[in-house]
Amino acid sequence: MENQRHTSFLFVSLFLYLSTVSSEKEWLVGKDQRNGSEALKLLVFGDSYVDTGNWEKSSGSWHSPYGMTFPGKPTGRFSDGRVLTDFIASFFGVPSPQPYMWRKSVKKPLFQYGMNFAYGGTGVFNTMVNQPNMTSQIDLFQGLVKENFFTKQDLEFSVVLLSVAGNDYAAHVFRDGKEQDLPNFTGSLMNQLEVNIRRIHSLGVRKMAVTAVEPMADGPEAAARERRIKIPDLRSSHGLHFRTEDTRKHCSSLNPLKPCCVGSGKGYSCGSTDEKGAKKYEVCKNPELSFFWDTIHPSQSGWESVYSIIRPSLYELY
């Protein structure tokens, strides 16, 4: 990924969730017996931690070895398999919501379980990738609400998942933002996040889960620094069911630092090829033993272990 090179922070802090996806069938066909307008809809905004294929198919997450564990080929997910969105969808017993990008190419009933507006590499503010920031993602959603693609009743049955990982901080540092400015920058980021949350709320969604933003210093590409960020407490907001959670103690038995897929040599990263198309990366033997898939993104196993921790908090959103 273009943006990986500059990322110097790593954020693994999230929330939500439930039962482990035990079979492919379960993954594709949710257990939620409701369908049509009454089906629970998962609406997803944010970055690569939750994107399930919004980037165009020429991009890195659509190339091998991404997707090798599940479903066995690239799907635009920034992992070897399932990402946070998929585990959360499984919690609610619905299929993972279809990417916004596909709204014209897949049949509308496939969107009865929601839609994914997240784009890898993006942030609350503009970052290094030319893709919709969170405000623009919400604009896309609002457009569909205006068109009645999502109805008032749909919104009533919706749960929103917001992911804000490290791209804003990476962009800030890359633009020569000084480290001592970070607390200030963090403050404006949280303010904008609050604006976003209130906006989604005002559109009629009542249940939201937000990744607790926290730049972490113990990722593979990160330096030994740490900063805590407090998300504004919106839980008192009228009618808004809001949940954030810090999941710090997630690594369990997985290899916490060594990514599974790495570039072979300087200038290469996971998925790189040279001018002749030759592979310029190496993949570890057992991705399920690595918490990180590449230098930024958790593996499916990594996400599963995060999920096991945040899962109890998800019941509040049911």
Ligand X SMILES: *[C@@H]1O[C@H](CO)[C@@H](O)[C@H](O)[C@H]1NC(C)=O
The footprint of ligand X (CB under 6 A) covers: 35, 125-126, 133, 135-136, 184, 192
CB of residue 95 to ligand X, shortest distance in Å: 11
Comparing CB distances to ligand X, the nearer of 118 and 270 is 118
Neighbours of 114 (CB within 10 A): 27
CB of residue 183 to ligand X, shortest distance in Å: 7
Comparing CB distances to ligand X, the nearer of 128 and 254 is 128
281-283 and 261-263 as β-strands: parallel, antiparallel, unpaired? antiparallel
CB of residue 74 to ligand X, shortest distance in Å: 27
Q: Which of 86, 246, 294, 299 is catalytic?
A: 294
Cis peptide bond prior to 65, omega within 30° of 0: yes
- Contact present, 9 and 222 (Cβ < 8 Å): yes
Task: Give the C-alpha distances (Å, rounded to integers) separating 70 from 27, 49, 198, 310, 316.
Answer: 11, 16, 35, 22, 29
Which residue type occupies 247? Answer: T
Main-chain phi, psi angles of 158, to 5 degrees: -100, 150
CB of residue 281 to ligand X, shortest distance in Å: 32
Q: Which of 297, 299, 301, 305 is catalytic?
A: 297
Q: Which of 48, 96, 269, 290 is catalytic?
A: 48
Comparing CB distances to ligand X, the nearer of 42 and 261 is 42
> Which segments within 236-297 are labelled E, that is strand?
241-245, 261-263, 281-283
Closest CA to 292 of 211, 215, 219: 219
CB of residue 35 to ligand X, shortest distance in Å: 4
Comparing CB distances to ligand X, the nearer of 187 and 312 is 187
Q: Does residue 294 have an active-site annotation?
A: yes
CA angle 80–82–85, rounded 5-degree value: 140
> Which segments within the chain are labelled E, that is strand?
41-45, 98-99, 114-116, 158-162, 207-211, 241-245, 261-263, 281-283
CB of residue 168 to ligand X, shortest distance in Å: 9
Q: Terminal CA-to-CA distance of the chain, rounded, Å?
A: 35
Return the residue matching tokens 């405000």.
135
Residue 207 exposed, middle or buried by CB count within 10 Å (0-12, 13-18, 19+): buried
Comparing CB distances to ligand X, the nearer of 184 and 273 is 184
Q: In whole angstroms, what is the distance from residue 139 CA to residue 134 CA?
A: 9
Comparing CB distances to ligand X, the nearer of 8 and 136 is 136
Q: Does residue 48 have an active-site annotation?
A: yes
Residues serving a catalytic function are 48, 294, 297
